[in-house]
Amino acid sequence: MVVFDKPHALLDVPLHYCPGCTHGIIHRLVAEAIDELGIEGKTIGVAPVGCSVMAYDYFACDMIEAAHGRAPAVATGVKRADPENHIVFTYQGDGDLASIGMAETVHAAARNENITVIFINNAIYGMTGGQMAPTSLPGQVTQTSPYGRDPKLCGYPIKVCEMLSELEGPEYLERVTVNNVKNVRNAKRAILKAFKNQIEGKGFSLIEVLSSCPTNWGMTPSNALKWIDEKMIPYYPLGVYKDRSAEKEVNK
Amino acid sequence: MADKVLMKGNEAIAEAAIHAGCRHYFGYPITPQTEVAAYMAKVMPKIGGTFLQAESEIAAINMVYGVASCGLRVMTSSSSPGISLKGEGLSYLAGSDLPALVVNVQRGGPGLGGIQPSQSDYFQATRGGGHGDYHMIVLAPSSVQEMAELTVKGFELADKYRMTAMILADGTMGQMMEPVSLDFELEPVPEKPWATTGTKMAREHNIVNSLYLKPDELEKGNFDRYERYKIVEANETRYEEYLTNDADIVIAAFGIAARVSRNAVNEARRLGIKVGMIRPITLWPFPKAPFEKAAEHAKAFISVELSMGQMIEDVELATKCRVPVSLCNRAGGMIPSPAQVLDCIKKIANGGNN
Ligand SMILES: Cc1ncc(C[n+]2csc(CCOP(=O)(O)OP(=O)(O)O)c2C)c(N)n1
């Protein structure tokens, strides 16, 4: 008999996320990975500024709240404080990771910093009420692109996995989503791998999770999940963008 | 007998930090503090420490934030424009009550300014540097020996009060060479049960955080922090007095300005002018007591600064404007000469204003 239980690494407190938001699912996947690898006692998580700012109240491991966009730098410090004994992850939104914190992201990846980055791409600034994000799609209506994102005025969305894959540094880059059961399972596998890589000392792993924001997209939860399929995945194809260890295997 | 070695001020800071048990340094290149990073880059890998050149001062201070969260001694160094970038991190360190050491080897500003010595970041340092209500412990060395001593002291005070300590030096202090002894005793490092080093499944999780959405909780955090600051003010204020007992004129000067002023004081005394000097060593907390005391007999104060007049406001506050305070200054990277300071003293002695 399978008993459905909360992962140990997720505290038994109510989450504050909106109905239909996928942050909760992704929290759970991260916590399951921590449980399965038995690393809760040595894990330190770094929360961002964004909707998941209060992730420090949800994860049972030690937690740090970083300034907006600076989580990879903070995580670098935490890892370097005790590389043998600290397992470090950051959990960041797209504004946090790909706009204000882009330099910290790129350089942590370039250094192949031995950390795990969980990147929530919901194509919008959720917490501040739905402004245009670096990942908002062309034409996407937001509070600060009320006529739709016009690439002529504000450029094109940033494809983080593709961009980072050009770097020599990072070990592992994969884009997943959690909009149906199959995709959730796949996301779980990727997140688990990203933590395993760190345990094995392989270096920087980033899992980009296409996520929903029904509240700020102005959609029902189920339409938001459909929107991921119809709009986001075509622009942000799922898949592995870099897996250095696997490449090495192939080239042997 | 303590062995003395000839060192540059910046190197003395680096060596003293290592002596104090600091094994993590993060920085970004900028003149005139380069030697701190260069020294750390050489030594840290050999003693199992971490030297990391960050992608920016913003990243460096956040790496400091990460190590500080884990309860280890950690530092960064920079110069004025870089310290501005660290402002965000300084505020977060204060909001999360994390101990760290930050060195500012000041250069002239504003903007890109120049690379010559300056003291024009006094306001930025003593008022906090970033947003919100907070202070740093600000230490102002005026010799290479003090660069070393105050670095060690800075780590100790930071740990003791869970605050950032800042060494506020300037280009001259950083570059000058003097004999230094590093032969001083260290205080024991306090326990840090709040550090995020992993629960080991043996305790509740620790959280390092500066977010309090409930205003009454945030207010309480501010009140508590300022109670702690009162203890710092009461116990950790440092200064040096020079010939102030009978002084009619009292100079206020720190760092390189104090060295210059000391020569001027000696020369003025030779001419029969009763002048003395108070040299604040902690700029925050500012040593109000010696100024209050001196205001009882002094007829005038002169603030000698490498800025457009910043510390002068603290002198006026400390003396409650009972006695006129005038400014004797250079700015933009220029240093007042002993002759200029002597002129300022003579003018005041002759009943004039500067
Ligand atoms: C320096 C700074 N700038 C701006 C903000 C305001 N702010 C808070 S959350 C946020 C957007 C976060 O969006 P994202 O990273 O996409 O995460 P989401 O809320 O969508 O999960 C912004 C701009 C801030 N807290 N700090």
Encode pLDDT of A208-222 as tens digits.
Answer: 999 999 999 999 999
What residue of A is the nearest CA neighbor of B73? A81
Beta carbons of B62 and A66 less than 8 Å apart: yes
In a domain, B321, yes or no: yes
Return the ligand 1 atom nearest residue A52 CA: 21
- Range B286-293 average pLDDT: 98
Report whether pLDDT(B128) > 90: no
Interface test with B, best of A78, A96, A167 (most B CBs within 10 A): A78
Predicted-complex ipTM score: 0.97
- Distance between CA atoms of A176 and B13, rounded to whole angstroms? 48
Give the pair of three-digit tokens for residue A163: 């961009």
Residue B354: what pLDDT? 58
In a domain, B65, yes or no: yes
Residues B14 and B148 in one domain: yes
Report whether pLDDT(B49) > 60: yes
Residues B315 and B289 in one domain: yes
- Range A114-128 average pLDDT: 98
Domain with B38 in it: 4-235
Last residue of a domain, one of B235, B267, B301: B235
3-state secondary structure at position B182: coil
Residues B77 and B128 in one domain: yes
What letter does residue B240 receive in the DSSP assignment? E
* Beta strands B177-181; B4-8: pairing state: antiparallel
- Distance between CA atoms of B96 and B221, rounded to whole angstroms? 10
- Distance between CA atoms of B10 and B170, rounded to whole angstroms? 10
- Mean pLDDT (chain B) is 97
Residue the block writes with tokens 């006695």: B323
Residues B156 and B245 in one domain: no
- What is the domain-level CATH number for residue B151? 3.40.50.970
Q: How far is A10 from chain B (nearest CA, A)?
A: 11
Give the pair of three-digit tokens for residue A126: 């959720």
**How many cross-chain Cβ pairs, A to B, lie less than 8 Å apart?**
135
CA A82 to chain centre: 24
Residues B65 and B176 in one domain: yes
Report whether pLDDT(B29) > 60: yes
In a domain, B354, yes or no: no
3-state secondary structure at position A53: helix
- Range B289-315 average pLDDT: 98
Residues B75 and B36 in one domain: yes
In tens, the pLDDT along B232-276 reads 999 999 999 999 999 999 999 999 999 999 999 999 999 999 999
**CB–CB of B241/B291 below 8 Å?**
no
Beta carbons of B63 and A54 less than 8 Å apart: no
3-state secondary structure at position B164: strand
Q: How many domains does chain B have?
A: 2
* 0.90 exceeded by pTM: yes
Last residue of a domain, one of B235, B262, B283: B235
In tens, the pLDDT along B18-28 reads 999 999 999 99
Residues B98 and B138 in one domain: yes
Collect all residues from B whose CB is shorter than 8 A from any CB in A. Answer: 24, 26, 50, 52, 54-56, 58-60, 62-70, 72, 74, 88-89, 92, 96, 196-202, 205-211
Among B90, B71, B63, smallest CA distance to A77 is for: B63
Residues B297 and B228 in one domain: no
* Beta strands A62-65; B4-8: pairing state: unpaired
Residues B91 and B182 in one domain: yes
Domains of chain A: 23-242 (3.40.50.970)
Residue the block writes with tokens 């505020």: B91
Percent of chain B with pLDDT over 90: 96
Last residue of a domain, one of B235, B255, B288: B235
Beta bridge partners of B329: B305
- Residue A43's contacts (CB-CB under 8 Å, 6 or more residues apart) are A9, A34, A61, A62, A86, A87, A88, A89, B198
In a domain, B169, yes or no: yes
Residue A1: what pLDDT? 65
Residues B202 and B56 in one domain: yes
Query: With left for phi above 0 and alpha for psi between -120 and 50, is residue A29 left, alpha or beta?
Result: alpha
Among A44, A49, A24, A48, smallest CA distance to A87 is for: A44
Residues B131 and B151 in one domain: yes
Residues B178 and B72 in one domain: yes
pLDDT band at B1 (very low <50, low <70, confident <90, very high): very low
